[in-house]
Structure 1
Amino acid sequence: MGCFSIKCGLLAGSVFGAVIAILGGILIPVGDMIIERTVKKEAVIEPGTTAYDNWAASEIAIYRQFWFFDVKNPQQVVQEGAFPEVQEKGPYTYKTRYLPKANVTFNPNNTASFVLPLGAIFEPSMSVGPEEDTVTSLNLAVAGAYSLLPPASHILLDMVINSTNSSLFQHRTVKELLWGYYDPILKDTIGLFSPYNGTTDGPYNVFTGKDDISKVSVIDRWRGETKLSFWNDTYCDMINGTDGSSFAPFVDKDVPLYFFSSDICRSVSASYEATMNLKGIEVYRYSLLPSTLASPVDNPDNKCFCRNYETTKNCTLAGALDMSSCSDGRPIFISLPHFLQGSEYLRQVVLGLHPDEEHHKTFLDVEPITGFTLNFAKRIQVNMMYGPAKDITVLNKVKDHTLLPLAWMNETATLDDKTADMFKRELLSRIDMLEIVQQVLLIAGVIIFCVCLIAFFCVRRKSKANLG
């Protein structure tokens, strides 16, 4: 009778173990469903969700670091036609985008509209010197007027340049070059980013994801339009993806991420590069491909971005984007710092450039479950074109069109320790706990089932032996 009770208990234990194992197995898809439902709910841009709190606020500090290219041989360039030699000077750091989104409105078509207030606060502790440091740089008015005016007007321009004691190069402070100074030629205020403080970017319309989470944060309209008007081409004028601060949850690393940048007046894509660890959080690193700024020879899709056949050597130069169509005709070109991924020619006619993949590429670190960008570095170089002109004294020795780097910017932000701890506590720890429970139940159930079943057969064999 006692042996029968032991066998029953072992059988019951086996059944119990099997039930626990099955429960653990069931919890795997059920747990995944719970996680997916919760994440999708919190990813919608509407008051009360985690996504909204991150989207609307400005708690994460965004900085813009600037490095300037100080021209070391301005006289030789003007008088002898020498190649300009530059030396990098920086960083000069500003806190930007510290203001929350303004004019936020939720629309009936599940979109939200807003504008981004722009402002910059100098951060001396993160800079190599004060804003009053001087840089020898290209004269923006001279280069701009040379490009905008027809050759028939060059004699008149030369008279204006001489009467204002201007030249091809000028000495300006960091503050003046960035945010503006009064120019005697144009009789107006000009600067690389003038005007900036007190202005806004947008308005933007983005999808909230309420009806389709795959569209969350995707830009529906910019400045009231669904497409751009800079490139006169359907492909190049597309507004694709988000603004880069977040993407749809459950990121697939095999699928590129698309985002639009008003700084360069176009959309770009980034591809998965590697899985990284950011303060204990697993993130996917995405970076721009060399094809982004490749010449139309190597990437035919870029043909519509080529605006001037003469200055781009029949659109064979890689690594620079002509911005004249979205900068009021000014000969501005955007590139990666030090012409990274650009044609070798660009670095042959400007001495002192040293591209480095690690320090000069643009990348995004995206948490794959939520789609939030937790760390990024957007690196952009501003260049200006000047060329030969026989009727302009300061340009008549120049031999060829030269794309001169003026400054490069690293716009960067990363989550702080407090936010990282909150992220791990509120989301990742709960997911980890659910996975641990699943595994413990499954493993424990299998062990109990196997042990009890083996013990049952051992007891039954021993009972048969005693009876025999």
Structure 2
Amino acid sequence: MKSIINRMGKINGLNKFRKPLAYLPGLLVLSLGLYIVIDQPHIRFITNRIHEIVQLREENDNYRVFLKLTVFFRVWLFEVTNPEAVMAGDNPSLREIGPFVYDLHIEKHVIRVDEAADEINFTVTKTYFFNQKESGDLTEDTVVTVLNFAYLGTIQKIISLAATFLKKIGPIIHQIFPGVVSPFLTAKAGEIIFSGLPLDCTNVDKALNLICNVLKGNPPPLLKKTDTPGLFLYSLFYRVNGTVQGPFTVNRGIKNIYSLGNTTSFKNMRVTNYWANETCNVVRGTDAITWPPMPKKLSKIQGYEPQLCRSLNLSFMKEVMLNTLMGYQYKLTADVWNQKDMECYCPRNKKKVMECLPSGLMDIDKCQEVPVIFSEPHFLHASSELLDYAQGLHPSEEKHKTFIVLDPLTGAPISGSKKIQLNMKMSSIPTVPWFTNVSDGYFPLLWAEEVSPSTPSISTHTTPRLKSSISLVSLCTSSSSIAQSKIHE
């Protein structure tokens, strides 16, 4: 009997511990939940894994997209509807013809990888193929009348190098441009944009030999040599079609993820020599394709544009939703044309005196070695005086803005469009008959944009980065939700 009583006592003692033990699993879950909510290890896991995915490593999808992608290149030519009146002194009346759409294949060729600097050194080749479907009723055979950029550019180069020489050859310089009967050019769009029109130095007046010898020895970028010595072809974009550009270096983002995609050198220069001071010459900013993740919303982001040999700041506009994804929209604003910031890009005359253009214009002769002037399409964000001269332009923020929408988690572009307008300075030249009576102004040639084929939906070069990241977020968010639900129980 005594032993039975002793056993009962032991059982009652154990029962005292059973009730607290029943709460142990719940307490463990509660502790785990508190740890997840407060310390957020799942967030660190997601962040670290995304950083690994977007780095420019050979095993990553992002690296393969970095090396090769395809976008649309769209061109609108400005047709001159009153060429005779312009030669008599009237302002040009312009009509936009386009878009002429091309598939643009961009390939990067890696030269070397610098592990210590965490940089990739590479060149870029861009190849353009006409896309008839996207161009609609327009073809490369569509005939357009535009300002003869090669003829005017040749005259402007002579003026800058030896103005007195123009007195002798001004009246006959048109002879090297077969069929040219005015400062305007009527030709097929495909010839104007890429395939080219003839510049003939094979049988010219002796007075033109000097300029032809210069062209033969050192042809400007607009000219393409043919199999016939002295016969060239000129077009607006021949120089960038199928030719190697660079080299460039960019940061891989392995040592510092927030440096990912930053361009650190161009043509083997970390600080170029195109502009007036070092601040404007420093090479920095992404290529507009590879961006780092954004742990916080930035007021401005920066890209490097080799066609302008300079960096450009884009300003934050708003959060947008595209295909259920939230992105940060940034765009080029009027701030980029701030007079103080633009001063170092102003050309200097022979006396080293700064000669700034009207607001909204940038002379890129030093960068491109052709006398062209950059602006945004239809002189968006530019001085109103430009529209007084170029009749028929109608700037629209919606149609003509340069913008990009970035996924803040990965830095992947969700949507975007990069735009440029090319112009030339038109002015009276007494020694050249066709330019004797023209009025002074800035004459638009065309505007163009590079845009993803899938804009405004998710870009093809965005998808690999986002797919991996979304899967990670979904998995970890589910785990976090389970833990938090236990806390509230």
TM-score, normalised to structure 2's length? 0.81
Q: 1:147 to 1:380 in 2, by over 3 A?
A: same
* Pair 1:148 & 2:153 matched: no
SS of 2:270's equivalent in the other structure is coil
User: Which residue does the alignment assign to 1:101?
Assistant: 108
Q: Assess if the C-alpha contact under 8 Å between 1:67 and 1:407 holds in 2.
A: yes
- Post-superposition Cα deviations, 1:17-75, rounded to whole Å, max 9, x if no partner, equal 454343223224100110121112222212112432322233xx311000010000000
Shift of 1:149: 2.1
Aligned runs of 1:245-284 on 2, under 5 Å?
Answer: 245-284=289-328
- Post-superposition Cα deviations, 1:78-105, rounded to whole Å, max 9, x if no partner, equal 0x2000000000000011124x322442
Aligned runs of 1:208-247 on 2, under 5 Å?
Answer: 208-247=252-291
Aligned runs of 1:418-433 on 2, under 5 Å?
Answer: 425-433=467-475
User: Which residue does the alignment assign to 1:457?
Assistant: none
- Please report the RMSD computed on the Cα atoms of aligned residues, expressed in angstroms: 2.9
SS of 1:394's equivalent in the other structure is helix
Q: Assess if the C-alpha contact under 8 Å between 1:24 and 1:437 holds in 2.
A: no
* Pair 1:322 & 2:354 matched: no
User: Which residue does the alignment assign to 2:34?
Assistant: 25
Q: Assess if the C-alpha contact under 8 Å between 1:64 and 1:409 holds in 2.
A: yes
Shift of 1:225: 1.1
CA distance in 2, matches of 1:347, 1:289: 18
- Post-superposition Cα deviations, 1:97-129, rounded to whole Å, max 9, x if no partner, equal 24x322442224221111111210000001141
User: Which residue does the alignment assign to 2:57?
Assistant: 46
Letter in 1 for 2:356: C
SS of 1:159's equivalent in the other structure is coil
Shift of 1:141: 2.7
Q: 1:211 to 1:423 in 2, by over 3 A?
A: closer
Q: 1:42 to 1:158 in 2, by over 3 A?
A: same
Alignment match of 2:246 (pick from 182, 202, 219): 202
Shift of 1:378: 0.3
Shift of 1:433: 3.2
User: Which residue does the alignment assign to 1:169?
Assistant: 184
Q: How many residues align?
A: 434
- Post-superposition Cα deviations, 1:284-319, rounded to whole Å, max 9, x if no partner, equal 11111212134x2xxx12101111689x99536111
TM-score, normalised to structure 1's length? 0.85
Q: Assess if the C-alpha contact under 8 Å between 2:54 and 2:410 holds in 1.
A: yes
Higher relative contact order (CA 8 A, sep 6+): 1
Name the % identity: 23
Q: 1:319 to 1:421 in 2, by over 3 A?
A: closer
CA distance in 2, matches of 1:292, 1:184: 41
Q: 1:418 to 1:290 in 2, by over 3 A?
A: closer
Q: Assess if the C-alpha contact under 8 Å between 2:414 and 2:458 holds in 1.
A: no
Q: Mind listing any 5+ residue stretches in structure 2 that lack a counterpart?
A: 1-12, 202-211, 213-230
Q: 1:12 to 1:317 in 2, by over 3 A?
A: farther
CA distance in 1, matches of 2:244, 2:79: 30
CA distance in 1, matches of 2:299, 2:108: 29
SS of 1:217's equivalent in the other structure is coil
Letter in 1 for 2:169: L
SS of 1:48's equivalent in the other structure is coil
CA distance in 2, matches of 1:417, 1:376: 9
SS of 1:236's equivalent in the other structure is helix
Q: 1:327 to 1:81 in 2, by over 3 A?
A: same
Q: Assess if the C-alpha contact under 8 Å between 2:33 and 2:486 holds in 1.
A: no
Deviating more after overlay: 281-290 vs 243-252 = 243-252
Alignment match of 1:183 (pick from 199, 217, 220): 199
SS of 1:436's equivalent in the other structure is helix
Q: Assess if the C-alpha contact under 8 Å between 1:17 and 1:445 holds in 2.
A: no
CA distance in 1, matches of 2:134, 2:426: 33
Shift of 1:420: 6.9
Q: Assess if the C-alpha contact under 8 Å between 1:23 and 1:442 holds in 2.
A: no
CA distance in 1, matches of 2:22, 2:308: 67
- Post-superposition Cα deviations, 1:246-268, rounded to whole Å, max 9, x if no partner, equal 22223532242111111222111
Alignment match of 2:451 (pick from 382, 389, 412): 412
User: Which residue does the alignment assign to 1:127?
Assistant: 135
Shift of 1:364: 1.2
Alignment match of 1:341 (pick from 373, 381, 386): 381
CA distance in 2, matches of 1:199, 1:420: 26
Letter in 1 for 2:375: S
User: Which residue does the alignment assign to 1:365?
Assistant: 405
CA distance in 2, matches of 1:25, 1:135: 70
CA distance in 2, matches of 1:63, 1:227: 31
Shift of 1:203: 1.1
Q: Assess if the C-alpha contact under 8 Å between 1:362 and 1:378 holds in 2.
A: yes
Aligned runs of 1:445-456 on 2, under 5 Å?
Answer: 445-447=487-489
Alignment match of 1:113 (pick from 121, 126, 136): 121
Q: 1:224 to 1:418 in 2, by over 3 A?
A: closer
SS of 2:129's equivalent in the other structure is strand
CA distance in 2, matches of 1:152, 1:396: 16
Aligned runs of 1:428-447 on 2, under 5 Å?
Answer: 428-447=470-489
Aligned runs of 1:363-402 on 2, under 5 Å?
Answer: 363-400=403-440, 402=441
- Post-superposition Cα deviations, 1:399-445, rounded to whole Å, max 9, x if no partner, equal 32x21111111101147588777655432133133223213321332
Deviating more after overlay: 162-171 vs 22-31 = 162-171
SS of 1:214's equivalent in the other structure is helix
User: Which residue does the alignment assign to 2:46?
Assistant: 35
CA distance in 2, matches of 1:420, 1:331: 36
- Post-superposition Cα deviations, 1:142-173, rounded to whole Å, max 9, x if no partner, equal 31133222342333333224546442111121
- Post-superposition Cα deviations, 1:323-375, rounded to whole Å, max 9, x if no partner, equal 111222x3200111000000000110010000110110111111111112232
Q: Mind listing any 5+ residue stretches in structure 1 that lack a counterpart?
A: 448-468
SS of 1:267's equivalent in the other structure is strand
SS of 1:97's equivalent in the other structure is strand
SS of 1:364's equivalent in the other structure is strand
